[in-house]
A and B are shown apart, each in its own frame.
Chain A
Amino acid sequence: MKQVEVLIIGAGPAGLSAADILLEAGASVAIVDRSDRVGGQLTKQTHMFFGSQAHYASKRGIDILTILFDKIKHHPNLHMFTNTTVAGLYPDKVVACVQESRYFTLQAKAIIVATGASEKSLPFENNDLPGVYAAGAVQTLMNVYGVKPGDKVLMVGSGNIGLIVTYQLMQAGVIVPMLVEAAETISGYLVHASKIKRLGVDLRMRTSVKRALGTKHVEGAQIWQLDEQWQGIPGTEETIPVDTICLAVGLSPLTELLQQIGAEVTYINELGGHVPRLNDRFETTVDGVFACGDVAGIEEASSAMIAGTIAGLEAALKRGYKIENVAERRASLHASLATLRSGPHAAKIRKGHEKLGVKS
């Protein structure tokens, strides 16, 4: 079995940032990612980032990715395993990997889990028909592979992802006649909402999908209005002629591997689902296993990068490496994270952390 020093699962912004500081400290790092492209969610983000100036605001996600990866990609102590899925994680830090049809195991001294999140679905009749796609999947298809998901799309969900993907669909020449949202108000940033509204998208609040129409693939969507309890109101149905229904209804952390290795997780609705219990060094309840980024609670790439740096720094210290001005660096990283989580849009994250019993 091949031995590696620090193994990072996931090459998104969190995993890449952790690798950077570990390599700088002198550690040897292996990164495993199931995609053949490095970057996680960043690979498809063609929009300018929101967030703080110090953390790449107004740069495009795809460009941030290039900056992050260019810094480390030629480092002699970095071993990349792309197109490789981690299928199992065992208490003696044995990691089972599948690369195409090849199976192999690695053993690590420390592990950083940065697996990100998966998109949620929504219960309605025929929600399994081809043409009902998650928003991130639509974004991947368009922005990574240059393929349109369909010709006419109904967007479901008005968080930033729903709003941004609506705009990106229109950039790709796809028609988005309508966006429906179950809540009373837009949940993402108003600047994004105004932009698509100006372009003619009908934004319907308190509205959801009742069923998808079609037998082989989506041929339309039946929507209806919702009452105060978010129940559909019979008699308010409307049929919208679309060939795609795009669901932007939230993400949930991919904690399965952490659960498998025995790390304690708790269900926190505000953070997207089951999240690991972490100490202030971002270590889970399993010694030497760290977690950072969306897998520890759904947030943003900006916070994922800082959290990744913290996890990497702590893993390096644990492995006995020296980091210059460590106290200052640690304090400034935690301060940046706190700043990112201080705005009104981070209220949910703060509440989630409060429930989990940690400082935001």
Chain B
Amino acid sequence: MRIHQHPILSFDKRKTLNFTYNGQTLEGFEGDTIASALHAQGIKMLSESIHLKRPRGFYCAIGNCASCNMVVNGEPNVRTCITPLEEGMEVRLQEGKGHIR
């Protein structure tokens, strides 16, 4: 899902970052947010609605709606659309409102 050719923007080769999503190892790039790296891999479902457990993706991508909340390195309710991806991050789908360690 990456853009390779663009008339105005250039997306130069950036450093690769490894992270895991529900235990599975994935690659993203430096400069990605967690949500953009997941989306680039075709992973659109980022959270589950609290009561009906319906799948949710991102919506606003500016940190305003909580639709992209995930568990990152054990911490719940991280807004993955504005959180920069880091090497070795452990990203998981969140259950309900999340549990604080």
Contacts and interface: CB of A to CB of B under 8 A. Distances in A.
Contact of B54 (A46, A128, A140, A149): A128
A118 B33 CA distance: 19
A346 interface: no
Interface size class of B (residues with CB under 8 A): 35 or more
A132 B39 CA distance: 13
Contacts of B5: 173
A171 B4 CA distance: 11
Interface in B59-80: 59-65, 75
A9 to B, nearest CB: 13
A42 to B, nearest CB: 13
A2 interface: no
Nearest to A256: B64
Interface size class of A (residues with CB under 8 A): 35 or more
Interface in A111-147: 118-119, 121, 128-134, 136-138, 140-147
Of B8, B39, B59, B84, most A-chain CB atoms within 10 Å: B59
Contacts of B56: 128, 130
B44 A131 contact: yes
Interface in A131-183: 131-134, 136-138, 140-150, 171-173
Of B44, B46, B65, B84, most A-chain CB atoms within 10 Å: B44
A172 B3 contact: yes
Contacts of A351: none
A108 B2 CA distance: 43
Contact of B55 (A121, A129, A136): A129
A136 B60 contact: yes
B3 A146 contact: yes
Contacts of B60: 118-119, 134, 136-137
A85 interface: yes
B34 to A, nearest CB: 11
A216 B39 CA distance: 14
A172 B63 contact: no
Contacts of B46: 130
Contacts of A129: 54-55, 57
A146 B2 contact: yes
B96 interface: no
Contacts of B2: 146-148
B64 A118 contact: yes
Contacts of A149: 39
A143 to B, nearest CB: 6
B57 A134 contact: no
Interface of B: 1-9, 11, 31-33, 36, 39-40, 44-46, 49, 54-65, 75, 81-84
Closest 8 CB pairs of A and B: A130-B57, A137-B61, A146-B11, A145-B36, A130-B44, A140-B61, A147-B40, A118-B64
Interface of A: 34-36, 46, 60, 83, 85, 100-101, 118-119, 121, 128-134, 136-138, 140-150, 171-173, 216-217, 254
6 contacts: A128-B56, A131-B44, A136-B61, A147-B3, A148-B2, A217-B55
